[in-house]
A and B are shown apart, each in its own frame.
Chain A
Amino acid sequence: MTERATIRELLLEASEAARPGRDAVRALVPTPEAGHLGALIMEIGETILPRRLTFSFGRGSELFVEAGNRRLLGIGFSGREAAERLGVDASRRSKELQSLCEILIGFVEDGSGNGLAVRSDPSSLSEGAAAGAGFSLSEIVDALQATESEAEPADEAEAAEEPEAEAAAAPETEVEPEPTLEPEEAPEAEAEIEQEPEHATAEEVGPEAEPEAAPSEDEELRAAPEEAAEQEEQPEPIEEAEPAAEPETMPAAGLGEALSRPRAMIEACEDHASVGAIASIDGKVTALRGDEDAFPIGNIATQVARQVRMNSPFLDVTMPGEFFVLMGPRSADLPSLCYFSDGEEVIVSTVSPEDLDSVLSGGAREE
């Protein structure tokens, strides 16, 4: 009895400690061999009690799966609908498995370039239902391999996917996934994601980037699209980006198009800011303005990218599309922080108290 009471107390404590909303969405680290597809499969493989796992890529599409007992039990596309149960009807299993693989591959392809995140909620399936049917990881991995080899890469885009699908077979050798990949690889990769941009920004870049400076505003505006093109060309596997090129000096104004409110506001910030940075949504700093030693704007941009990644599932619902954020300080004499995100990169700068009004009026709409 006392033992049971202790367990109950522990469970109650644990459930009280669980805070809905906070950390509800976790960024998943792509596995070295299998990328996002591997991370997605590993997540299912780590799920023992029945859960609804909602995977999302930045501002892109969303996919949820019912998982439990290390199996994929059902799948759906909108959180409001019930999952379609899979693998229940023996006569349809192979067809369902094939469709499932196509969905998973398509989902990962659609989201490439953004970070994969997962939200875990209680499953709508009962535990009894979760015990049987569905597909085991080894079944899914085998089928992914088969799907991939059928779809022989005919062009570059497909070729780029190949390593992912191949590597999705990695957990297959162990049938159940617990094994080698997660404990060793995942934390490492995570650490790299978080730290790599810091090296690039704080230590290497700051001092060198600074003296370049001061092209005319026209030159800077023209340089912006070229920079964007350069960034797109980079294949950007996160793990290999370590010794990456130095961030360039940030242009004075990077957004010269017809201005939406978010763009108008960030442009108003850029007009006044003495420090600023641009980072990819993965947190890699690509441009800097100001002295990083005096003001760690590169590190801040990395954190902002992380925040945007974590927030994207929520903002997709409450504020879809590009957006601007102005974070105002408690004390009126401290600088504010502002940033813009279009889901692919973030532009970050500070705003002095004197410039706050003009930034805010930059966001006023004329109807």
Chain B
Amino acid sequence: MSLDNALSTARQAVEGCDFVGYVDLELGMMLGFNASEEPSQDFTENLAAGVVNFLDSGPAVQIESDLRSATGTEAELAPYFQDIVVGGTDGLHLYLRLESEPNHVVCFVCGFAADPAGALHAARAAVAEFSGLV
């Protein structure tokens, strides 16, 4: 499966999802996306930068470190956080790391009515298909 196909399949798999993007945390860039309507470049750039900040910025690393010491998981090498749910007044974002490639993140942007629990469940299943694509 190509990245484009995987993005398209993932968007259809999550009810109420308008946009799916694939972000490389190392590069800080969105490598691809599929959307119901063409998003502005501003949107994709800011989304990618936001995802990097949530998962790989100085504060994020510090938060992980604090949580690791509080939970006795200092020795683990894998990142503490696997997925992020951001709920706003008029939208819902989900950022999920790939199990196999923690520096790669699939972002789902859903509308107002999306159910966080249902969307997260579906997104987790959809993200498994991205393994090894990039």
Contact = CB atoms under 8 A, between A and B. Distances in A.
B116 A295 contact: no
Given A21-B29, A262-B88, A328-B83, A295 B50 contact: no
A197 to B, nearest CB: 13
B27 interface: yes
Contacts of A331: 73
Contacts of A324: 85-88
B113 A310 contact: no
A365 interface: yes
B67 A300 contact: yes
B115 A323 contact: no
A79 B117 contact: no
A254 B89 CA distance: 18
Contacts of B82: 328-330
Nearest to A299: B66
B73 A334 contact: yes
Contact of B66 (A25, A300, A315, A322): A300
B122 interface: no
Interface string B76-87: 001111111111
B57 interface: yes
Contact of B59 (A295, A310, A328, A364): A310
A335 B71 contact: yes
Interface in A321-366: 321-331, 334-335, 337, 357, 360-361, 363-365
Contact of B117 (A24, A313, A364): A364
A46 B55 CA distance: 30
B64 to A, nearest CB: 9
Contacts of B57: 22-23, 307, 310
Interface in B34-50: 42-43, 45-50
A296 B70 contact: yes
Given A304-B63, A322-B89, A24 B49 contact: yes
B113 A307 contact: no
Contacts of A329: 67, 80-82
A22 B86 CA distance: 19
A327 B84 contact: yes
A303 B62 contact: yes
Contacts, number: 162
A265 B60 contact: no
B17 interface: no
Interface in A1-28: 19-25
A328 B85 contact: yes
Interface in B82-131: 82-93, 97, 109, 112-117, 120
A313 B87 contact: no
Given A22-B28, A310-B53, A329-B81, A363 B87 contact: yes
Contacts of A304: 59, 63
B45 to A, nearest CB: 8
Contact of A262 (B45, B66, B87): B87
Interface in A284-307: 294-296, 299-300, 303-304, 306-307
Contacts of A21: 27-29, 45, 48-49, 52
A304 B66 CA distance: 12
B59 A313 contact: no
Contacts of B47: 314, 317-318
Nearest to B79: A330
Interface in B1-37: 26-29
A320 interface: yes
A328 B83 CA distance: 5
A303 B66 contact: yes
Interface of B: 26-29, 42-43, 45-50, 52-54, 56-60, 62-63, 66-67, 69-71, 73, 78-93, 97, 109, 112-117, 120
| Closest 4 A/B residue pairs (Cβ) | A21-B28, A314-B50, A307-B59, A360-B117
Interface of A: 19-25, 79-80, 260-262, 265, 294-296, 299-300, 303-304, 306-307, 310-311, 313-331, 334-335, 337, 357, 360-361, 363-365, 367
19 contacts: A19-B28, A262-B87, A262-B89, A299-B66, A300-B67, A314-B50, A317-B43, A318-B47, A318-B50, A319-B93, A322-B88, A323-B87, A324-B86, A325-B87, A328-B84, A328-B85, A337-B81, A360-B120, A363-B85
